[in-house]
Each structure stands twice: as C-alpha cells, then as structure tokens.
Amino acid sequence: MKAVMYIDAVFTVGSVDRRLFGSFVEHLGRSVYTGIYEPGHFTADSKGMREDVIDLVRELNVPIVRYPGGNFVSGYRWEDGIGPVENRPARLDLAWRTMEPNEVGIDEFMHWAEKVGTEPLMAVNLGTRGIDAARSLIEYCNLPGGTYWSNLRRQNGHADPYSIKTWCLGNEMDGPWQLGHKCASDYGKLAAETGKVMKLVDPSIELVSCGSSKFIMPTFPSWECETLEYTYDIADYISMHDYFGNWDGNTPEYLALNLEMDSFIQTVKAACDYVKAKKRSPKTMYICFDEWNIWFHNKLEDKRRMKKNILPAGTPLLEEHYTHEDAILIGELLITLLKNADRVKIACIAQLVNVIAPIIAEKGGKAWRQTIFFPFQQVSCFGRGKVMLPAIESPTYKSERFGDVPYIEAIGVVDEDEGHLTVFAVNRSLNDDIDFQIETRGFGKCRLSFRTEMISDDLKAENSADSEKVRPIMIHEMRSEGRTFDFRLKKASWNMIRFDLS
Ligand code: AHR
C-alpha cells in the first residue's frame, strides 16, 4: 500500500498558538497531593513541590496549565487556600467526594507555575458561587496593591501581581453532575455578568465561556448557540471538552475517534459563526479545547469507589495506565488540533500528573513517562510555526461510525524562523506497513534532518517506573536532499519526520 502527502508552501491553515499544547492540574485524586506537591519527597523544594515532576513537565514544554478544576472548581472557595497553611480549613469537596486540606492554593500553584515556566488558565466558580467571588479572586491575583484583596496577596508574601491573562467562566456548566449545574440561559446571563465585572477589574484579561462538556451531550450544540447569545461580546473563547476510549476493544474504530474530535470542532465553529452572523458581529469566537484525552480504563471502577465513602486527600483516582494504541490515538488527536489551528487557539491535555495523565508520580518514589507522553512532547516541542494544509492520498478502511477512514493521518508544520518543516504521521493500519511519499512544493530543496518512529508488537504495551518500553526511536538513514522523499511507515506507528529548509 502507498500514500502520498503533498505539502505546498502556499497553502497554510494558520499559525500555531503556543497555548495549543497546554495541560491541566485539578484538585482531584493525586494530581496535586502526591502529584505536583509532596512535602517530604526526596526531590521536594522548600514549598513541597516535586522537582522530579517539574523536570518532566518542562520536558513536555507546556505553556499554559488550567487550574484548579474541573468539577472541583464548582464547589471551591478560593479564599480557603490562602494565608498561613495552619489556619486553612479542611473542606469536603463534593465533586470527587474527597477531603480537601487546602495546603495548596493559588499562591502555591503560582510558585509551581513559575518554576515550570508556564502560565495559568484560571477557572472561577460559577457553580456554588458567582460574581463576587470571581471579582475578589481577580483583584487578589491581578491588581498591584492598594485594595483589600491585592493588599492581602502582598501580606501573604507576593508583592508583584500574578497578572493572570486567561480565565475560564466556570466549568462544564451544561453537565447535570456539576455542582450548580445550570440551563443555558441561566449560565449565559451569569457568565456574561461575571465576565463584565472581571474585565472591569482588569480589562487586559481574556475569558473563556463554557461550551459543551462532551460531543454526546443532549444539549449540544444548542447550548453553544444559546449561551453565546449572552457571552459573545464579553468572551474571547468558547470551551470544548471530550474524552475518548476503546470501550468495546475495537481498535480500528478506536483509532478513528479523532474524526469525532474534528466533527465536534466543525460544529462548534458553525455555532459560533451562527451567533456571529445573528449579532452582525465583526468578532471571531476562538476555541479553547481545555479538556481532551483518553479516559476509560478505570472510569467505571472509580465511579463505584466514589459512591461509597468520603475519600482522604491524595486517594488515587482516574489513574489511567496508557498503552501503545492509546499513544497512537493521542498523536491523531494532536494532528486534529493542528489541522484546526486557525480556530483552536488553546487546548489542554487533561490532565498532567497521575490523573488521566502523561506523567505518573509514584508516592515517595519515581516520576515517569507514560506512552502518551511522547507524541505530546514531540508535537509540543517541534509543532510550532505555520500549519500546512494537508492534502493526502491514502488507502482507506471501513469504519462503522465514520465510513471510509484513511490509514494515514498526517500534518506538516513549518517553522520559518528556524527553517524547519516537520511532519507528524500515524499509520492506523494494524496489519500493514505503508509506503509514504512526501512531495514538497515551493520550499526549494529540503534536507531530511532526522526521523523517529514509535512502534510496538503489542498494542496494549504500557510503560512503568522501571521500563520505558514504548517510546520513539531515532531511525538512522541517509540525510537525503530534494523535493520528494520516500519512507515506510510501520503498522500502528507514530512518526515524526523533520526537514531543514534551505
Ligand atoms: O478531568 C476530569 C474531569 O473531567 C474534570 O473535572 C471535568 O471537568 C471533566 O468532566
């Protein structure tokens, strides 16, 4: 079988916003407690933050991290997490039925974010709280001083404002499981008024209006159309969330699920543009895909455990161990986000550490890279620049849900400043290697710089603290020069091919 990819210098999708490779830390399971934070751990800094985890997060090159939830934020009192730790109250978090000790709050998270070299995507509680809590939080975070809340931040040892740029107006407010779940018009009104007040405190911020929490929500896409009636003028982005899983063990169908993500994005774009037209607005609403990942391995078991007892802080929840086939799908989902880079400006793989995460931090032990770490890391580090319009001729297979699915999924990104063209490609075939030709046009001569592939004989292979079985390996071949290049993509593989441009 043979596939051809044409990359023409003239045809681009748009520029990649660096925030497309964001992630998420929620007060949930071991994401914070024994994840990013474990005082007494052999790598902990003076504030209890694990340096081994920080090193791995830096490897991922994550420019923005959503915090503090997720479902957690919809019951959160942010004031519980500031000031002397010994005075902070323990609270019952009802989203995950877990005790929250409030040892980590906004100031500790900002210390961590600064060390990592990332910016926060801060969420406000529009479930059990509203305008007043949001305005005091932004005053605490973004004003230099001279007001009650900004002076309190200074008293707490943080003289400079955090100047947090991007804020989520609540989380998954369309979901009946959400504390303070609302109908579209109630959410739209509250979000618009909260956003208005937040922008009065700091006009330089950007806001994310809540979109649908899943593609299969019964209220999708009317939720988008109705809420944007209220929030279109005040918000800069609408959020999207989606999680994928190989629920019935049908891997060819599973590996087509990035097409669901694509169709979800196309519909959200259409809903935004409908409201734009209705309002005669010159403004384009961008997308913040602030939760996406694979989540199915332990989902039902976790639900059962949460139903029973109140869990102590740092109880493992949502600890998915990812396989080789999961990593292939993550690669495809990243390709899909890149294909939509003109509209999707922020995206967060959910989450970052321990909870449905590329990084596992063993309590008192090592931190290590799951299989999905690698495609994310490669795209985050090398997928910066301009996305090229993909034109691919590929053999296909039949999917029950998606019809004809191409075996090859690929995208090219050009970094004009550094002079590189990088192609990311997946071969979805479980049985056949496929010849893959890349024909470049309008770049002059290109030179193959290097190529990596991630393969495995076992689709269910996982990594562990002691063994990184699944990871990309460098393919050593002639550094040929020209316009057309021939490769062979192994079955069920994730590939990166990098060229130098002359
Ligand atoms: O990321 C885990 C959970 O998934 C988040 O708390 C919630 O927003 C989503 O349903």
Tens of pLDDT, residues 18-73: 999 999 999 999 999 999 999 999 999 999 999 999 999 999 999 999 999 999 99
Ligand 1 atom nearest residue 293's Cα: 1
Identify the H or E element spanning 124.
strand 119-124
Integer Cα distance of 401 and 276 in angstroms:
31
d(Cα 486, Cα 438) in Å, to the nearest integer? 7
Tell me, in angstroms, the distance from the centre of ligand 1 to residue 75's CA: 13
Retrieve residue 325's tokens: 């086939």
Instruction: Give whole-number Cα distances, 156 to 162, 313, 442, in Å.
Output: 13, 24, 57
Q: How far is the CA of 371 from the centre of ligand 1 (A)?
A: 21
Q: Which atom of ligand 1 is nearest to the CA of 72?
A: 6
C-alpha distances in angstroms, 417 versus 314, 420, 501?
44, 8, 10
> Rounded distance, CA 211 to CA 189, Å?
14
User: Encoding tokens for residue 471?
Assistant: 């990871």
User: Residue 301 catalytic?
Assistant: no
How many A from CA of 405 to the centre of ligand 1?
Answer: 29
| Separation in Å, CA 477 to CA 158, 448, 449, 454, 492 | 53, 9, 10, 16, 21
Fold entry, domain 2-10+387-501: Immunoglobulin-like (2.60.40)
Q: How far is it, in rounded angstroms, from Cα 209 to Cα 216?
A: 19
Residue intervals in the chain for CATH 2.60.40.1180: 2-10+387-501
* Among candidate residues 7, 22, 63, 20, the one with its CA nearest the CA of residue 414: 7
Smallest CA separation from ligand 1 atom 2, residue: 70
Q: Which of 270, 278, 166, 198 is nearest to 230 (CA)?
A: 278
Q: Which of 291, 332, 409, 453 is catalytic?
A: 291
pLDDT of residue 395: 98
The residue whose CB lies within 8 Å of the most ligand 1 atoms, and thus the one to mutate among 241, 289, 318, is 241
Q: Which atom of ligand 1 is nearest to the CA of 175?
A: 10
Ligand 1 centroid to Cα of residue 121, in Å, is 15
Strand intervals (E) in 231-320:
237-244, 286-294
pLDDT digits (tens, 9 = 90+) for 458-493: 999 999 999 999 999 999 887 788 999 999 999 999
Q: Which residues approach ligand 1 with their CB closer than 6 A?
A: 26, 69-71, 171-172, 213, 241, 291, 350-351
Q: Which atom of ligand 1 is nearest to the CA of 243?
A: 4
**Annotated active-site residue in 100, 172, 224, 332:** 172
Residue nearest atom 6 of ligand 1, based on CA coordinates: 70
Pocket probe mutation, ligand 1, options 124, 291, 295, 297, max atoms within 8 Å of Cβ: 291
For domain 18-382, give the CATH number.
3.20.20.80
Question: Position 435: which residue type?
Answer: D
Closest CA to 435 of 496, 495, 487: 487
- Rounded to the nearest whole angstrom, what is the distance from the C-alpha of residue 70 to the centroid of ligand 1? 5
What is the position in ligand 1's atom list of the atom closest to the CA of 96?
6
Please name the residue whose Cα sits nearest to atom 3 of ligand 1: 70
CB 22 within 8 A of CB 65: yes
Mean pLDDT score across all residues of the chain = 97
> To the nearest 5 percent, what fractions of the chain are helix, strand and coil?
30, 30, 40
Cα 445 from Cα 423, distance rounded (Å)? 16
Could you list the mean pLDDT of each consecutive 10-residue stretch along the chain, which spans 502 residues?
97 97 98 98 98 98 98 98 98 96 98 98 98 98 98 98 98 98 98 98 98 97 98 98 97 98 98 98 98 93 83 95 98 98 98 98 98 98 95 97 98 96 98 97 94 97 97 89 95 97 89
Say what the pLDDT of residue 476 is: 84
Q: Which of 48, 161, 144, 165 is nearest to 103 (CA)?
A: 48
Mutate to test the pocket of ligand 1, among 76, 98, 172 (most ligand atoms within 8 A of CB): 172
Nearest one of 286, 262, 284 to 343, comparing CA atoms: 286
0.95 cut: is pTM over it?
yes
Half-sphere exposure of residue 447: CA atoms within 13 angstroms, side-chain side: 6
Distance 242 CA to ligand 1 centre (A): 9
Q: Active site includes 291?
A: yes
- Which residue has a Cα nearest atom 1 of ligand 1? 350
**How far from 119 is each of 128, 288, 471, CA to CA, in Å?**
26, 15, 28
Contact indicator for 168, 76 with CB cutoff of 8 Å:
no
User: Ligand 1 mean position to 312 CA, how many Å?
Assistant: 19
Taking the C-alpha atoms of residue 131 and residue 192, their distance in angstroms, rounded to an integer, is: 10
